[in-house]
Amino acid sequence: MELRKLELVEVWMELKSPFQTSFGETRLRPGILVRVEERGGEEGWGEIVAGEGPWYSYETVWTAWHVVQDYIVPMLARAGELEARRFHEVVARIRGHHMAKAGIEEALWDLEARLASQPLYRYIGGARNYAVSGVSVGIKSSVEELLKAIASYLEQGYARVKIKIKPGWDIDIVARIREEYPDIPLQVDANAAYTLEDAEHLARLDEYNLLMIEQPLDYDDLVDHAELAKRLKTPICLDESIKGPRDAVRAYKLGSARVINIKPGRVGGIGPSLQIHDYWYGEKGLPVWIGGMLETGVGRGHLVALATLEGVKYPNDVSASDRYYWEDIVEPPWTLRDGRIQAPEKPGIGVEPVEERLRKVARKRRTFIF
Ligand code: OSB
Ligand code: MG
């Protein structure tokens, strides 16, 4: 295909309730929606998940806008014929900036699937037509408040609960949840809040039958995680540390993790997500699952498609639209049924942004004509 147009829409979405992690609190979630259009007029949508500050990773909405506008767009303009799978060759000279790249790359995959008249989940080789839906619950001001939130999510049917932990909000909190819910599928995410010195402390989590502990140590570490893995029974899952397929190979060689949380934004999009899946699960037989970045309905569509892959063996951080936002920007919104989100059979991601809703949350727009 050949691109005719690329549009960026920076949106700021108010969360239903503030989302707190060990690295900070989000009330207004920014993101950049990407719309690409090819010569025949077909379109595709993706989402850049960079945040308001360099907290989860070094990227922000501002760096992403800059990198797309000043580097990726000129490279695309020179590329001529384009394939989603070959996007990363076109932008290979740009180091890092995976979120900026991923938003564009996703839009190309959506467009390509639509041109092939296939739902994205089938186009990428999904093994089931749904995503098993878990929920990620932020740090709250009290355990009571956390338990109330968990009760409400369980009532809605979420298939597992993940809570955020940090020093001072960890063992006791998990113990309280286990008193209330001895058997629910439960896991924790530290977002890099600990060091190897905390190994003994973290080992106290072993008695609570957690599915995994996500990213306990530094955001770019692989070596200390390998050491920690030897001291814990609870499996280690890596999020921040896996920035692409090569990190997955390194993590396997070092023994840094048993599980990978694949987030398309963090690794550069659908293609690199598939590569990590095919290596970690396909070659090594180890499980993966799909993580989220509080995406709008557009990014969510890409997460749902990835969550249908065979190697996805745990519930995903792919929740319904109403877990995040009062009103999602897409139609139809993503909904939960029996703890699952159905993958649409419509071509591409299977949902459409609604222009009037975009207008309400857009702060900045720009169109590039090729
Ligand atoms: O570490 O998984 C994370 C949200 C923003 C940044 C990092 C993370 C998260 C989540 C939310 O846990 C997952 C979701 O989108 O539901
Ligand atoms: Mg995480």
Question: What size, in residues, is the chain?
Answer: 370
Is residue 221 within 6 Å of ligand 1 at its C-beta? no
Pocket test for ligand 1, best of 317, 322, 334 (most atoms within 8 A of CB): 317
Catalytic residue among 162, 263, 313, 360: 263
The reported pLDDT for the residue numbered 285 is: 98
Does residue 239's CB lie within 6 angstroms of at least one atom of ligand 1? yes
| Torsion angles phi and psi, residue 28, rounded to 5 | -110, 120
Q: What are phi and psi of 193, to 5 degrees?
A: -85, -5
The CATH number fitting domain 122-342, selected from 3.40.50.300, 3.40.50.2300, 3.10.20.30, 3.20.20.120: 3.20.20.120
Residue nearest to ligand 1 atom 7, measured at CA: 293
Q: Specify the pLDDT at position 89.
A: 98
191 lines ligand 1 (CB under 6 A): yes
Take atom 8 of ligand 1 and give the residue whose Cα is closest.
293
Residue 334 CB less than 6 A away from ligand 1: no
What pLDDT is recorded for position 108?
A: 98
Residue nearest (by alpha carbon) to ligand 1 atom 5: 293
pLDDT at res. 76? 97
164 flagged as catalytic: yes
- Residue 232: per-residue pLDDT: 98
In SS3 terms, the chain reads as CCEEEEEEEEEEEEEEEEEEECCEEEEEEEEEEEEEEECCCCEEEEEECCECCCCCCCCEHHHHHHHHHHHHHHHHHHHCCCCHHHHHHHCCCCCCCHHHHHHHHHHHHHHHHHHCCCEHHHHCCCCCCEEEECEEECCCCCHHHHHHHHHHHHHHCCCCEEEECECCECHHHHHHHHHHCCCCCEEEECCCCCCHHHHHHHHHHHHHCCCCEECCCCCCCCHHHHHHHHHCCCCEEECCCCCCHHHHHHHHHHCCCCEEEECHHHHCCHHHHHHHHHHHHHHCCCCEEECCCCCCHHHHHHHHHHCCCCCECCCECCCCHHHHECCCCEECCCCCECCEEECCCCCECCCEECHHHHHHHEEEEEEEEC
Tell whether ligand 1 has an atom less than 6 A from the beta carbon of residue 189.
yes
Averages of pLDDT over each 10 residues, the chain, 370 residues: 97 97 96 98 98 97 98 96 97 98 98 98 98 98 98 98 98 98 98 98 98 98 98 98 98 98 98 98 98 98 98 98 97 98 98 97 98
Residue 113: predicted pLDDT: 98
Which architecture characterizes domain 3-117+352-369 according to CATH? Answer: 2-Layer Sandwich (3.30)
Whether 148 is catalytic is: no
Residue 214 alpha carbon to ligand 2 centre in Å:
6
Domain ranges of the chain: 3-117+352-369, 122-342
